[in-house]
Every structure is written in C-alpha cells, then in structure tokens.
Amino acid sequence: MFTQLNINAGLAFGAFAIALFCFAASLKRNLSRIQHATYLIICLSCLVCPLTGIAEELFLVFGKDGDGLLWLFMGSEVLFFVFHSFLAPSFGLYVLSLNGTLVGRRKRLWLIYWIPCMIVELANIANIFFPRDARPLYTVTVGEAGNYLYQRGDYMFIFYIVAALYVLLSLFAFIRNIRALNARKIASLISFYVATLAGVVIQFFWKDIKFEAFFESVSILGLLVLLESDTGIINNNTGLYNEMAFYNDNATAMAAKRKYTIITIQSPDYFQYLEMLGQTNYNGIELLVARYLTTIVKSQYVYHLSNGAYGIMVYDERQNDVDMIVQMLENRLAEPFGYGAIEASPRWTITVAKVPNDIEDASQLHYLFAGKNGSFEKKVIIRDSLSLRFIKRRSKIEGAIARGLRDHNFKVYYQPIWDASRNKIVSAEALLRLIDPELGFIGPDEFIPVAEENGTIIELGHWVFEETCRFAKNNEIKNLGIEWLEINLSVYQLPEKDLPGRFLEIAHRYGLPPSFLNIEITETADASNDNELLDRIQNLVKVGFPLSLDDYGTGYSNFTRLIKSRYRTIKIDRSLLLSAEQGPIGKSVLSSIYKTMNGLSFRTIQEGVETEAQKNLILSFGAQMIQGYFFSKPIPGDEFIEYVMKFNKIKFIA
C-alpha cells in the first residue's frame, strides 16, 4: 500500500513540478498569440491534475469513515475532472494555431469549438447533485471497512468520448494541414501524441499506478523545449517578432490556404540613417516606429524584419481595415520621428500584398522587398498589386535567364547590314533571343536590364561573343561577303577582369582577327563621366577590337568625347529617322548629323529603316549603311546565311 502511494505521490509531484516549470516559463510569452495562450491553459490543467491526484491518493490511504473529509475527497475529484476536461480541447486548439488554421479567425467561431467541453464540465458539476449511490459519472463513498472508495459511474465514458473527439479533431487538422508545419513541428506534435497516448494505454493496463498525469507533463515539457521557445524569433531591440517568425508565420498561413494581406514598410534610407545616427540612436528611432505600429495593429501581427523593415499581417476580420491602416501609416510615416535631440525623417516604401492573389508562396516573400524603393519627390510611396506584378515578372525573368544559361535556351539572331555604295550585305548585328519553355519568347529589352542588374550579363555576354565567333567560323561567312560582325556589349560587362584579354582569346580560338568583331556600346551619362569605365572601353580598342557607338541620338550622346574618341562606327538611332520623317526640323537635324559624321570620317549605320521612303530619305543625307526591317528582321543563323547568299548572289559550291 505504502509503496504504491509513494510511487504515485512521486509521479504526481514530478508531474506538478514539471507543469509548474512549463507554466512559469510561458507566462512571459506574448499571450495574445493563440498558440501561447492555449499552451498556458494546457500547463494549467497539467498543474492542477496531479495535485488533485495526490489528494485523492492520500484520502484513499488515510481517509477514515467519520473524519468528515469525504467532501474534500469528492471536491478534489470534481476539480480533477474540471481541469482534465480542458486538456484535450486546449491541445486541439494548440495544433490548430500551430498549423495556421486559427490565426486571426473570429472569436465567435472558437465558442462553438468549446461547446462539447462545456457540456462535459456542466455534467461534471451536475454529477454532485445526484444521490451518492446513483451518480452517473463517478462517486466517492465509504467502504465496509470504513475506508474511502472511489467508484466510476455508468456514464463515465462520456468524458472519454468527448476527449477522443477533440483528439481526433486535432489529428484531422494536423494531417490535413501538415504542409503548413515544418519538420520540427511535425516531429514535436507526433511525439506529443505518442507520449500522451502511451500514458493513457499504460494507465489502462496498470490501473493502480497514476502514470497519466506524469506522461502529460513530460509531453508539455517537450512542447516547451521544442516549440514554445521564442528565442531566435524575437527582435532584441523592439521585442517584436523577427524575420524568421515572419517567414514561418507566412509559410504556415499560406500552406493553410488563408486569405490575408501583408503590409511591409521599408526605408530606402535605412543604411544612410544607420550610419548617420549610429546604432544606439537608430535603435531609439526603431523603437518609436515599432511602438507606433503596435498602436494600430496588435503586436502579435507586427514583425520587425532585417534592414530596418517591418511587416504587418492583416487577417480575416480586419481585411476591410487594410485601406485605413495603409492611410494611417502613410500619414504617420510622412512625419519625422523624434528621439532625444535627434529627428529622423527617412523616406518609406509601403508595400501591400494580398495573399494569394499577389503572393501565393512563402518563397515569393522577397518580392515585397525587391525593386526600386522610394523616390526623391515623395516621402512615402505605396506599392500595390500592380508594382508587385512587375517585380514578380522580373523575378520570373531572372529564373528564365538562369534556366536559359543552363539549358541553352538562348539563341543568337543576326540582322543584315546593307552597304549602299556596293549594294551588298557587308555585316550583321548579333542579337540575343531567349525562348523559355515556361514564359515563351522574352525580348532582350526585357531580359538584358535584368541580367545587367543581377550580374548574369557577364556570363551571357561571353556566351553571345563566343556563339557569334563560332557561327562566323563554322559558316566561313567571310566568303559570303561579310566583312565584320557587330556584337553588343553592355557597360555592365566592363568591370569584368581582363575582359579584352578574354574576348581576344575567344576570337583567336575561332581563328578570327579582333578587327572582324565590332563591339557596340551604348554610353550612358554615368559611363561617359566615369574615367575608370572609359579606360576600360579604351582597353578593348588597344587589343584591336573596333568600337561602334550604339543608339546615337537617344538621350545621352557626349559629342566632345565622341570627337576625341575611339569609335570607328556610329549607329544612328531609329528615333532620329522618325523625327526626320515628321518635319523640317527633324530633317535638318539628321542631315547635319550625317554631314558631321561623314566630315569626321566616321562610318555610319542607320538603324530601324523599315520603308523604301525612309531608305531614300537617309541616302539623300549621305547615309552609308543601313540596318532595318526593310532588308530583314533579325533571323536565325541558317536563315541569315541563305539571305546573304541570295542577296550577294553567291553560288553555293558543293
């Protein structure tokens, strides 16, 4: 008798101590998060159940008829059932909150969830009011030897059925939404199910030893260690959830197919302010921003992300408030933040994304932070679905470029260049094409800027250069009357280490002199004022590559530089031709350009000639060479060979 009591008391104290520890550890959590709140309820019931368990044991051993404590015995039983009945539904809620089913849902719905539990609780209370020998659930009596007795009633199974109902519900939710859980959560929950189930099973076969509560406490300790820890998901400065939590919560909610809105706030001036104010002062500003955000949205939905950005999640019932929230943010962020003697007035970008319309997967969250931020005219910029669509498209193109390089989806097309004086195709411009299996045809105007920004232009540029050389060599295009080829070079390729040497090496490998390969460069205002870049352009000339100035007449053309410089050929942009067609001013501009270029002995190529009239017009100005749809669009290599053979009347000698 005593040993059994000792074992049970030991188990109960152990269970109690563990539960107390878990309870205390979770009090500091952000309890407005359902996950943490339900965990606290679970701890509470694990705390009370072993206490009442010990009391019951003591009464069974030491209780005697006539000591007047029978009501206390009954009372601890009632308490035990009150708290134990909360366990299964709380755990069910816990699972639902972990897998994103619950977050932000209307409170009214939860009430329905609690109904079976409440019925059981009421039955538990009502049980006391039945006569002692006819209590339906359980009863406490005095046995023949004067000892206390505990007896189950006929309807006790109701407790088990309701508990099983909740456990099954949680299991169902667990399995249905398993995609929303990461491996760690899945492993933790499975261990929890197994440990509590083991407790119940052992209890069933070994009725005298009270294992159940002990197993329950050990299980919640497991949850505490594995899932309830906030370390790593809290920002130290503001105490808000951090980027990791933001990512996880979004992944969970998206996998649970929730519809909601994400608002992110970021400042393009973050690094500048950080440097200007120092970390300590900037922390102060961040605290002010964080405090403001938590006045308009509950803190469990506000995240403090890296690089001074913030995220807000707006779920179900507040969806209609999104416009209002954004409006409030816009108004506040336009104003400065004052901290001590410091006043910071950074610019901000607010991005509003609807899930799943704008973003359907957590892997796309980076779109929210991508793209150009801020503008100098406005303090606060708001980006919505439309700008996100651009960013997404851009990101898809990045994918297509990577695929293209890997799977050889890039093609080089050639557009013939006609020489007027000899009525002959003398050259061609190599133009890149990307045919992606997913996105279809993508024009260079779309993918070149993306490749320039993400750096793939260097690899791409090499590929075009080599592919063009290979084409020239394999088809011996010199024999067809092609005197040189034009290859585009982006200024973003210039920083590459020893670019001239590498290009030269490729040309030599295909037996081509560098003079056969004209490199086309579009100078931007930036590039033309950057001596370093100009030197690098000059280095190409030094090793023997002739240069063409592309797009002459668009936006920026620095004439002084041009005169001094290094270009052999000037490619005159289509826009100048179009304005020449439109009126006398455009005509005299273009004709004087031709006069100047011819006077300076530059070679010229007119771009974008589509009609006979256009051709005749510029020939009258003194144009030398023409490239345009009038002769041919850019075409694949084999078609180009055919075209040139026909045009230059070359007999194919087998």
Residues engaged in binding Ca ion (CB under 5 A): 488, 520, 550-551, 607
**Residue 546 binds which entry of Ca ion, ligand C2E, none, CB below 5-8 Å type-dependent:** none
Note whether 550 binds ligand C2E by CB under 6 A.
Answer: yes
Q: Which is nearer to Ca ion, 57 or 486 (CB)?
A: 486
Site residues (CB under 6 A) for ligand C2E, limited to 463-502: 464, 488-490
Q: Which residues make Cβ contacts (< 8 Å) with residue 106, sequence separation at least 6? A: 316, 317
Q: Which residues make Cβ contacts (< 8 Å) with residue 89, sequence separation at least 6? A: 113, 114, 116, 117, 166
* Residues 268/347, Cβ–Cβ less than 8 Å: yes
Shortest CB 523 distance to ligand C2E, Å: 12
**Residue 608 binds which entry of Ca ion, ligand C2E, none, CB below 5-8 Å type-dependent:** ligand C2E
* Sign of the torsion angle spanned by Cα atoms 271, 272, 275, 278: negative
Q: Which is nearer to ligand C2E, 182 or 554 (CB)?
A: 554
Task: Determine the Cα–Cα distance for residues 553 and 449; give it in Å rounded to an integer.
Answer: 20
Shortest CB 549 distance to Ca ion, Å: 10
Shortest CB 522 distance to Ca ion, Å: 7
Note whether 104 binds ligand C2E by CB under 6 A.
Answer: no
Per-residue string for binding with ligand C2E, 9-48, x by CB under 6 A? ----------------------------------------
**Residue 514 binds which entry of Ca ion, ligand C2E, none, CB below 5-8 Å type-dependent:** none
Which of 487, 464, 362 is CA-nearest to residue 408? 464
Shortest CB 629 distance to ligand C2E, Å: 4
Pairing assessment for the beta strands 424-436 and 484-489 based on DSSP bridges: parallel
Which of 295, 368, 356 is CA-nearest to residue 329? 295
Shortest CB 343 distance to Ca ion, Å: 48
Shortest CB 479 distance to Ca ion, Å: 25
Q: Which is nearer to Ca ion, 125 or 589 (CB)?
A: 589
Number of neighbouring beta carbons within 10 Å of residue 592: 11
Stretch that binds ligand C2E, among 79-87, 227-235, 355-363, 605-613 (CB under 6 A): 605-613
Task: Determine the Cα–Cα distance for residues 245 and 304; give it in Å rounded to an integer.
Answer: 9
Which of 330, 237, 232 is CA-nearest to residue 280? 237
Q: Which is nearer to ligand C2E, 53 or 628 (CB)?
A: 628
Axis crossing angle, helix 584-599 with helix 574-582, rounded to the nearest 10: 130
Tell me, by CB under 6 A, how many residues bind ligand C2E.
22
Axis crossing angle, helix 212-226 with helix 34-62, rounded to the nearest 10: 160
Among 285, 290, 365, 431, binds ligand C2E (CB under 6 A): 431
Stretch that binds ligand C2E, among 38-46, 203-211, 279-287, 443-451 (CB under 6 A): 443-451
Note whether 321 binds ligand C2E by CB under 6 A.
Answer: no
Shortest CB 624 distance to ligand C2E, Å: 17
Note whether 610 binds ligand C2E by CB under 6 A.
Answer: yes
Note whether 443 binds ligand C2E by CB under 6 A.
Answer: yes
- List Cα–Cα distances, 287 to 268, 292, 304, 397, in angstroms: 18, 8, 10, 38
Task: Determine the Cα–Cα distance for residues 15 and 566; give it in Å rounded to an integer.
Answer: 85
- List Cα–Cα distances, 6 to 12, 58, 120, 203, 412, in angstroms: 10, 10, 32, 17, 85
Q: Which residues pair with 572 in a beta bridge?
A: 552, 606
Shortest CB 611 distance to ligand C2E, Å: 9
Stretch that binds ligand C2E, among 2-10, 418-426, 562-570, 628-636 (CB under 6 A): 628-636
C-alpha angle 401/403/408, rounded to 5°?
95
Which of 210, 222, 203, 261 is CA-nearest to residue 94? 222
Shortest CB 288 distance to ligand C2E, Å: 46
Among 620, 629, 642, 646, binds ligand C2E (CB under 6 A): 629
**Residue 448 binds which entry of ligand C2E, Ca ion, none, CB below 5-8 Å type-dependent:** ligand C2E
Count each helix (H run) and each strand (E run) in the chain, helices first: 21, 19
Q: Which is nearer to ligand C2E, 102 or 549 (CB)?
A: 549
Q: Which amino acid is at 58?
A: L
Q: Report residue 125 CA to chain centroid gap.
A: 52
Shortest CB 396 distance to ligand C2E, Å: 19
Q: Which is nearer to ligand C2E, 360 or 638 (CB)?
A: 638
Going along 158-205, which residue ranges are E strands? Answer: none
Stretch that binds ligand C2E, among 24-32, 298-306, 582-590, 608-616 (CB under 6 A): 608-616
Q: Which is nearer to ligand C2E, 4 or 490 (CB)?
A: 490
* Three-state SS at 63: coil
Cis previous bond, 514, omega within 30: no
Which of 594, 560, 561 is CA-nearest to residue 577? 594
Contacts with ligand C2E by CB under 6 A lie at 415, 431-432, 443-445, 448, 464, 488-490, 550-551, 574, 607-610, 627-629, 634
